[in-house]
Amino acid sequence: MRIALAPLSFAVALALSAPAHAGEDAAAADFKSLHQRMLDMSNELTAQRAEIERLRDEVDRLELAQHGRGLSAPQADAPDGAQQGVPRDARELAEDARRKAGDNNAAVADGSANAPIQVGQAQREEDAQRREQEKALVVREHAPLFERKFTLDAGFSYSYYDRRQLALSGFLALDAIFLGSINLDQTKASVGTFELSGRYGLSDRLSLEASLPYVYRDSRFVSGGAGGASSVVSEVRMRSQGVGDASVAAYYQWVKESQRWPDIVTSLRVRAPTGRDPFGLKLIQPDGDNNNLNIPEDLPTGSGVWAATFNVSALRTYDPVILFGNIGYTYNQPADFDDISPVAEQVSPARVALGNTVQLSGGLAIALNDRSAVSFSVATAATGATHITAPGAAKRRVAGSSSNSTTLNIGASYVLPSGWTFNGQIAAGLTPDAPNFVFSLRGSRSF
């Protein structure tokens, strides 16, 4: 009986254990499926995070690039959703990143299909805005802004001259020995000019300006030969100050920059002889022991004649540089003077015609951002000889009166948040007729 029941017990035990094994297999399959889904989701999340980081780096690169080229922050009337200091195309990329993080299917496809067109349009708009800001910043330094506002401009410049002159009075004996006197004269001059200007734009093309300078001069005259000894040097210092030559000017913009043409601005400046003229200043001998040293009794602060200067300026943007050039001509009106002689107790009336001047300049400017810019330029001015005409005599050319002054200029400008614009420039003389160096600083503010 026990033997007969054994197969039956084994069958019952096998039947009861079969469902348990089946349940374990199903649970294992579910676990594997769930684990695979988790791995897939983890991989998808990792890919989305990598895409977000890539887009974030792209946003940062675009933002830095455009801020570095002078793109200002959006104004209060910017489109909806605009964020302060973030370019429009950067915002679109950030929104695209958020869309990809939320939905990696249809939204990603739509975003990738539409983004290039939107970004391209925004980039063109931002480039145009940046070019206008760079050009406006450079124009502040090289030409007036044509806006219907009053602009106050105050500037100071310092010029330094160092001139040496060797004078030989005698003859050569046996073609080798010089018999006579050798005199070495040196003049060191410092000229400081403070100029106050006011400018007002009558329209978007016409602007008027008036300027009044105040000149301070400090000169030192050095000459050898005091007491008849060539090794003894005498030195005299002279100072003078006063109002310089006032001027008025008009600027007109004939052409505004386009794809074919640059900005073309013409100007006409008229200068009045309000300063102290250099004619008729008598020479004096300040050192009784040195008859080689003769200096004027006073220093001039003006030219003494009416003058008119006509200029044509052009400005062209070639991203990221801005090129500018200028050509000008100055006409000096001949004038009659009661006395032009430098000799004491001698009066010599004459008509003086100062030489006219041709000016050429050109350079380039780079806007570092929307507040600062640097510029490099070369300027030259060639002046003709002076002619004098005494009563009843023919016109006579003054020897050594023509000149050619060329300078190399390096400048920088910065706009303060308050609205003041400051321009600094250093000029180095390249020819003997040019000053050794000129330093100038100018500030302007529109009201």
The DSSP 8-state label assigned to residue 398 in this structure reads P
Sign, CA torsion 63/371/359/218: negative
Coil, strand or helix: which one is 60? helix
Residue 229 is predicted with a pLDDT of 54
Residue 132 is predicted with a pLDDT of 62
Residue 36 is predicted with a pLDDT of 82
Most distant CA atoms of the chain, gap in Å: 169
Residues of the chain with pLDDT under 50: 1-5, 12, 65-91, 93-94, 97, 101, 104-119, 168-175, 178-180
Residue 41 is predicted with a pLDDT of 85
Residue 121 is predicted with a pLDDT of 56
Q: Which residue has the tokens 């000019």?
A: 193
Entry pTM: 0.67
Residue 308 is predicted with a pLDDT of 97
Q: 125 is written with which tokens?
A: 């708009």
Give the model confidence (pLDDT) of 12-55 as tens digits: 455 555 555 555 666 677 777 788 888 888 888 888 888 888 88
Q: 102 is written with which tokens?
A: 């939320």
Parallel, antiparallel or unpaired: strands 283-284 and 263-271? unpaired
Residue 322 is predicted with a pLDDT of 87
Residue 142 is predicted with a pLDDT of 52
Residue 336 is predicted with a pLDDT of 92
Residue 63 is predicted with a pLDDT of 58
Amino acid 106 reads: A
Cα separation values, 146 from 25, 101, 201, 211, Å: 86, 49, 5, 18
